[in-house]
């Protein structure tokens, strides 16, 4: 038994994986802001040059980046393999 599914279904799923993977990397994998503790009194010379906020990535952000990249790669594989399969059937 052979089931023929329309290729636009695979293109739609692949493009959704690519878009949502990119959004996951961009928004959920972004570094969070960490504020430096406030000091009482005057700041010394080297502390005045440092920015008040530092960007750091925690383990949660790295996990979102890894999974987002995996989603993008799966979406690319689905789109490319569907395109190659259709080209083979045309010949």
pTM score: 0.73
Structural domain of residue 57, as residue ranges? Answer: 7-33+42-90
According to the model, what pLDDT value does residue 90 have?
Answer: 86
Please give the tally of structural domains in the chain: 1
In a domain, 17, yes or no: yes
In a domain, 67, yes or no: yes
More confident residue, 70 or 55: 70
In a domain, 73, yes or no: yes
What helix, strand, coil percent values describe the chain, rounded to 5? 65, 10, 25
Report pLDDT digits (tens) over 25-56: 999 988 776 656 566 555 555 555 555 566 77
**What's the alpha-carbon Rg for the chain, to the nearest Å?**
23
In a domain, 1, yes or no: no
């Amino acid at each position: 038994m052979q089931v023929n599914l329309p290729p636009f279904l695979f293109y739609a799923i692949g493009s959704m994986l690519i878009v949502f993977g990119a959004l996951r990397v961009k928004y959920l994998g972004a570094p969070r802001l960490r504020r430096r503790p406030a000091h009482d009194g005057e700041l010394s010379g080297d502390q005045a040059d440092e920015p008040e906020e530092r960007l750091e990535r925690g383990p949660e952000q790295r996990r979102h980046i890894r999974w987002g990249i995996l989603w993008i790669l799966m979406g690319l594989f689905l789109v490319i393999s569907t395109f190659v399969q259709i080209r083979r059937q045309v010949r």
